[in-house]
Structure 1
Amino acid sequence: MLIDSHCHINFKEIATNLDAYMQHMVDNDVRYALCVATRPDNIAEVIDLAEGKNNVFATVGIHPDEKLPEFELTEEFLFAYSQHPKVVAIGETGLDYYWNKDIDMSWQHKRFQTHINVAKRSGLPLVIHTRESAEDAWKMLAENGINDCGAVIHCFTENLDWARKFLDLGCYISFSGIVTFKSAKDIQEAAKYVPLDRLLVETDAPYLAPVPHRGKLNHPALVLHTAEFIADLRQVNLDTIAEATSNNFFNLFKKAKTYITGGN
């Protein structure tokens, strides 16, 4: 069994033919997927999707790329959604300095802090996006202490040193299809190093399809190729990666396990 720990199957590229992509998941033994919200106007959409699919869970959050000058994010806004039984995490949140070149990035820091506060208040883990911002993201997590809620650095694209630093904070590390790209040597080094009990795999669908589907539409079933690649990197069999990453998913996203087991 595999789990896609981060995808956007509510996006129209997939949603318009969702049942077919869900069948592909079954065919590749990808049992569950975490659908990640990115904007205030798609949170309800993501939750509705999760309500309609037994094997899909949801997050609530606003992507750091989204400036949204007319929207004021509050803790109460996020916390209210976090109480839904299929909402298992807070995010996608974090910092992104690649797309946003503002001199003053305090608006991103403020929004990230709001997500952190809600995660600690709700007891749900953070789904964290970083791009050209690892140092500041790490500092904010270190200053806030996230042991009680937990976190995952999704779509990890940093080097081994940063993997170690985030692991030292208690974070999980999730690898997308980027790890399969020939140019991704630093990411591959990190994928070999991350302890088996802190490793997750994801698609970030509909983006970043792994080799041999690079450049094509990504979808949750293709997480199999990422898992196979990491298994080869680490010189273990696929079952080892599948079992570890599935266990890690439920260890981090505890509310998902509670939902499946009915609280047992």
Structure 2
Amino acid sequence: MPTPQITDSHCHLDFPDFDDERAEIIDRALDAGVRRMVTICTKLRLEPQVRAIAETYAPVFYAAGTHPMSAADEPLTSVDELVALAQHPKFVGIGETGLDYHYTGDSAEVQKTSLGIHIAAAQETGLPLIIHARAADDDMACILTDSFKAKPYTCVMHCFSSSAELARAALDLGFYLSMSGIAAFPKSQELRDIFAAAPVDRVLVETDSPYLAPPPHRGRRNEPAYTAHTARVGAEVFGMDYADFAAQTEANFERLFWKAAQYKAAA
């Protein structure tokens, strides 16, 4: 039986954790059935390096934005800048952006400004918004809902580990929830219950590597190959055969990240 194919919808292949063996890490992902990876740029001044990884490795796509925890320290981007970057054939999403009040609540206002710029770029390009949300559920739900009502767009709540209320607000807008290694942790039953209540056609899988390695690798460096461990937990959550769940998450990814689905490498 061939290995079911899945996509790591969110990783950070440009991080120094991977500098010594990037090619080997991508090969291991392919061996595990992870046929595509979306590597995420979190500081726009680093976009050239992230783009170069996507250009070097056929299975890798990329997205770019300013991470909310860096919003106060990095130059504020513009809609025009993001739209210009989005013209690259392997640029498939806007972000990650969002709100994080856990460590950086003192920069809430600049985070909101930055988020608004990214939302406008998603609205203009038609590319999915990639949201990081932590300890900011009420503001996050309000901003996403109000901006969507003004002009609809698509979105994934990356590495979702927030409340059932924020999950419902996002799902009500037609957004997607992405399951990371956190959902595979033994003490994450409440989070697994939130996913179980979501429509299975609105769920993605990811690593957020090098962070949040799922069991049996917890506590060590994460890498895209380990998406398969989280996806197997996802199959259990939804009571599905692994191959069927893998196929469903692939269909979900291609519906949301339509540009990656349509990509054809130059001959």
Structure 1 match to 2:140: 137
Deviations along 1:45-69, one digit per CA (max 9) or x if unpaired, are: 1111111111111101010000444
- SS of the equivalent of 2:41 reads coil
For the pair 1:158 / 2:162, whether they are aligned, the reply is yes
Take 1:248 and 1:260, find their aligned partners in 2: how far apart are those partners? 19
- SS of the equivalent of 1:101 reads helix
Take 1:233 and 1:70, find their aligned partners in 2: how far apart are those partners? 39
Aligned partner of 1:229 among 205, 230, 233: 233
Q: CA deviation at 1:41?
A: 1.9
- Give the residue type in structure 2 aligned to 1:17: E
| 1:103-182 equivalent positions in 2, closer than 5 A | 105-145=108-148, 148-182=152-186
Q: Runs of 4+ in structure 1 displaced over 4 angstroms?
A: none
For the pair 1:257 / 2:261, whether they are aligned, the reply is yes
Worse overlay, 168-177 or 145-154: 145-154
Take 1:121 and 1:232, find their aligned partners in 2: how far apart are those partners? 38
Q: CA RMSD in A?
A: 1.6
Where in structure 2 are there 5+ consecutive unaligned residues?
Answer: none
Take 1:99 and 1:212, find their aligned partners in 2: how far apart are those partners? 28
Worse overlay, 67-76 or 105-114: 67-76
Take 2:125 and 2:205, find their aligned partners in 1: how far apart are those partners? 24
Worse overlay, 66-75 or 55-64: 66-75
Take 2:191 and 2:235, find their aligned partners in 1: how far apart are those partners? 14
User: Structure 1 pair 5/70, CA: closer, same or farther in 2 (3 Å)?
Assistant: closer
User: Structure 1 pair 260/247, CA: closer, same or farther in 2 (3 Å)?
Assistant: farther
TM-score (norm. length: structure 2): 0.93
Structure 2 match to 1:12: 16
- SS of the equivalent of 1:100 reads helix
How many pairs were matched up? 261
Structure 2 match to 1:33: 37
Aligned partner of 2:190 among 186, 198, 201: 186
Residues 123 and 148, structure 1, Cα contact 8 Å, conserved in 2: no
- SS of the equivalent of 1:45 reads helix
TM-score (norm. length: structure 1): 0.94
Take 1:124 and 1:70, find their aligned partners in 2: how far apart are those partners? 23
Residues 6 and 202, structure 1, Cα contact 8 Å, conserved in 2: yes
Identity %: 37
Deviations along 1:98-138, one digit per CA (max 9) or x if unpaired, are: 01131x62111000000000111111110000000121111
- SS of the equivalent of 2:160 reads coil
